[in-house]
Amino acid sequence: MDYTARSVRSLSDAGHDIINIDDDDDDIPAVCSALDDFIIEDEDDNLSLRSASPELRPIEPTWRRNTAPRWPETYIDHCTLLSERAKNLGPTASTVRIGDTVEIHTQQPAGLVEDGDFMRVMKIIQNVYSGAIKLRGLICRRNKFFAPMLDPKLNEVSIVTTIDTDDPRPYHIQGLEEISLDEAFRKRRLKVTNAPFPKLSYRDHSPFASRGPDGKKIKKIVEDNDVLVCRYFFAKVYGKGERNSARRIPYQGILQHITPMEADDGGKILTGRSAEHVDLTDNADDGDIILMEPTRSLPHGPNRERQYTFGDAFQGGGGASCAAKLAGLKVVWGFDHDKAAVDTAALNFPRARIFQCEAADFPAAAARFNARCDIVHISLPCQPFSNANTNPNAIKDEINTTCVFAVTGIIRTARPRIITLEEADGLLTREKHKYWFGKLLALIREEGYSVKWAIHNTLEYDISQPRKRLVLIAAAPGIPLPNMPKSTRGRPGSNLPAYLTAREAIGNIPRSATHHNPHLASRTDGVPWDPDRPFKSTILTKNSLCHWDGRRKLTLRELAGIQGFPHTYEFTGTKTAIEKQIGNAVPPPWFKLVFEECIKVLRKVDRIQGRGGRADPRSEGNDDEVNMFRAASRTLSPAPPISSQASGSSIENAIFIDSDGKNIIEID
């Protein structure tokens, strides 16, 4: 530290024009390299989704990594670095103990550990015969490799690791990596913290500014010598058997803020001294949930469970809202730009406030009522990211991709405790969409949320069609990230019920059901197929599927049944409009399972806080609860004013359907 400060001062006294070097890191990769392992190179690789290629799924459990050493290897409490630079700095600088951080110089090919990474040492292992020493610890990588997912600020790093869903140990145990002692170049100072940027960084203690060309010299000194700060944890998550499969492509991930339990000035569980005894998952004991101090005390009466509230952004025909209702949530608002879809949602949720408006205009439209709710779902337009988008429209795709930026306004308006998103899997798996996925994660992270994601095949979640979709779950500060739901169905030998068949999905539709008249369905000259298996195709926005008798196309009600809608769910609009609503919808049975996992976490947190759940934000007497949520989400920014000019003033033409489901009011 003294060397760095002296060097910086000597340089800063030498020139003329002041240059502020509190800038981004140098040599920033064009797009987030941390997401490379999720990319599918070609269409054939897309078949590697775990449910689609059973031959690649080993029956045996994943080999457990980072187990205790076996003789002749044993744990030791310290060692001495081998590099001449470290030795020349003296015994303190060259002696590595548990909890220290080392800079890695390696000639190994890029992989789990890369040249220039850092390791927080958790274990030191020595072979008592050969004397060879290995360091085992958490890998940290500069944030520039995570851009745009993370801001590429100088000397800001993040923990990066891989974990397995079938390994019950927390990430700071199973996610450790090993290096040989000769790959540890020197010690570095690292602070793991949940404090917001730029606290605890070099910016707190060093006036790093210079004149003229010396700015780059100073920047290099800072990069090579000053303190590193870690505020995030990034993990690639492997499902059962995926790590050992031929393709080894992960389909899940986590981007999480460092919690108080993980911080060096908090629980200190990432120092290597107590990690074996602490579990950070949401299955941990109640004492592991982080509680935020309320602005004033809450009454501690009987634990009465309340119905959690739900808002639906880009609602469409209401597939996510239907799932929310099935899970026990109260749908309080929704919006979409399509009038037919809005009419359908209003018909099925008459007590909710349903808006027809553009996404950028929703915050202004919602200013007429309290839009805050417990869970918000966001289904961004999927056409630009879908593999079915074989005839891209550049103008439409640009409009749809820019909807990503509307996420910020939606979050700030609703202040949800949990956010869910559903999107085409291509947003994660295609190289050309990597920027947009990273940007989406950045927008959510900047509002204070941690996020996890996974690709699901809806065949495994009570839907009779193969539909690969990306699902994201984000949690506000103080709320643990919910688990992804476990598969409810599987292939023979999976010890799960068989996939839902076509006959089970639509073979029992009542004759009285609306939009179901087989005699009026379009005639076809197709090939009959076996209804006692799932559908081969995915429901799209146009009806191209024929009935299993091969003589007609499916009715609208049958299409809705394949998508998982209850047979009593109503639709409005033309035949083409209804086909579009069904094809774009979130399959309700699948997302019902996602919402149930979210509800479990909220119940657990509220039980600890002495309340049964958050009341409807429109009801009276909930000031204490709102204050509690504000305290827990204190890192979130206040909602900014929204200009009605942001998207062509669509708010001028927006409509609001009142809570009685009858009155339509123009918003002007």
**Mind listing the pLDDT tens digit for each residue in 197-226?**
999 999 988 766 655 677 888 888 999 999
Res 243: pLDDT: 81
Q: How far apart are CA 198 and CA 268, in angstroms?
A: 20
Res 378: pLDDT: 97
φ/ψ of 75, rounded to 5, equals -75, 140
Please say if the pLDDT value at position 431 is more than 90: no
State the pLDDT confidence band at 88, using cuts at 50, 70 and 90. Answer: confident
**Mind listing the pLDDT tens digit for each residue in 527-542?**
999 999 999 888 776 7
Residue length of the chain = 668
Q: Percent of the chain beyond pLDDT 90?
A: 55
Q: Which two tokens stand for residue 473?
A: 């779950």
C-alpha neighbours within 13 Å on the C-beta side of residue 572? 13
Task: Taking residues 228-252, report their average pLDDT.
Answer: 85
Burial class of 198 by CB neighbour count within 10 A (0 to 12, 13 to 18, 19+): middle
The answer to whether 152 and 144 are in contact (CB under 8 A) is: yes
Q: What are the C-alpha distances in Å from 49 to residues 238, 253, 452, 480?
A: 12, 15, 18, 27
Best CA proximity match to 629, nearest among 646, 645, 606, 607: 606
Q: How far apart are CA 424 and CA 382, in angstroms?
A: 6
Q: Which two tokens stand for residue 129?
A: 């015969």
Best CA proximity match to 543, nearest among 575, 512, 590, 567: 575
Please say if the pLDDT value at position 294 is more than 80: no
Please say if the pLDDT value at position 391 is more than 60: no
Q: At what angle do helices 588-608 and 319-327 cross, to 10 degrees?
A: 50
C-alpha neighbours within 13 Å on the C-beta side of residue 630? 11
**Mind listing the pLDDT tens digit for each residue in 15-42?**
434 445 555 676 666 566 666 766 654 4
Cα 181 vs. chain centroid, distance in angstroms? Answer: 35
Task: Taking residues 280-292, report their average pLDDT.
Answer: 41
Residue recorded with tokens 């290096």: 179
Task: Taking residues 620-639, report their average pLDDT.
Answer: 35
Please say if the pLDDT value at position 481 is more than 70: yes
In terms of DSSP bridges, do strands 655-657 and 353-356 run parallel, antiparallel, or are they unpaired?
Answer: antiparallel
The whole-model pTM stands at: 0.81
Please say if the pLDDT value at position 447 is more than 70: yes
What's the CA dihedral at 244, 248, 254, 260 to 10 degrees? 40
Please say if the pLDDT value at position 247 is more than 70: no
> How much is the mean pLDDT over the chain?
79
Res 554: pLDDT: 93
| Annotated catalytic residue, options 382, 403, 546, 598 | 382
Q: How far apart are CA 281 and CA 236, in angstroms?
A: 16
Res 612: pLDDT: 60
DSSP string, 309-322: EEEEET-TTSHHHH
Res 382: pLDDT: 54
**Mind listing the pLDDT tens digit for each residue in 150-200?**
999 999 999 999 999 888 899 999 999 999 999 999 999 999 999 999 999
DSSP string, 395-443: HHHHHHHGGGGHHHHHHHHH--SEEEEEEETHHHH-GGGHHHHHHHHHH
Residue recorded with tokens 């839902």: 500
Which of residues 217 and 499 earns the better pLDDT score? 499
Task: Taking residues 459-486, report their average pLDDT.
Answer: 95
Who's near 101: CB < 8 A, 6+ residues apart?
Answer: 118, 119, 120, 121, 140, 187, 188, 189, 190, 228
Q: How far apart are CA 459 and CA 590, in angstroms?
A: 9
Res 439: pLDDT: 93
Domains of the chain (ranges, CATH numbers): 2-230 (2.30.30.490)
Res 650: pLDDT: 40
Task: Taking residues 399-416, report their average pLDDT.
Answer: 86
Contacts 24+ apart (CB under 8 A), 576-581: 576/542, 577/338, 577/340, 577/341, 578/317, 578/340, 578/344, 578/515, 579/541, 579/542, 579/543, 580/338, 580/341, 580/541, 581/316, 581/317, 581/340, 581/341, 581/344
Q: How far apart are CA 629 and CA 652, in angstroms?
A: 32
Res 279: pLDDT: 41
Best CA proximity match to 254, nearest among 101, 46, 483, 39: 483
The answer to whether 57 and 245 are in contact (CB under 8 A) is: yes
Res 282: pLDDT: 45
Residue recorded with tokens 């993990």: 235
Res 624: pLDDT: 36
Please say if the pLDDT value at position 654 is more than 80: no
Q: How far apart are CA 380 and CA 383, in angstroms?
A: 9
Res 131: pLDDT: 94
Task: Taking residues 450-472, report their average pLDDT.
Answer: 95
Best CA proximity match to 590, nearest among 454, 419, 424, 463: 463
Q: How far apart are CA 666 and CA 663, in angstroms?
A: 10
**Mind listing the pLDDT tens digit for each residue in 337-350?**
999 999 999 999 99
Please say if the pLDDT value at position 10 is more than 70: no
Task: Taking residues 570-584, report their average pLDDT.
Answer: 95
Best CA proximity match to 341, nearest among 7, 657, 36: 657
Res 341: pLDDT: 97
Active site residue 546: no
State the pLDDT confidence band at 296, using cuts at 50, 70 and 90. Answer: very low
Res 505: pLDDT: 96
Please say if the pLDDT value at position 384 is more than 60: no
Lowest pLDDT segment from 236-250, 383-397, 439-453, 584-598 = 383-397
Res 240: pLDDT: 81
Res 393: pLDDT: 52
Res 528: pLDDT: 93
Res 22: pLDDT: 52
Q: Percent of the chain beyond pLDDT 70?
A: 72
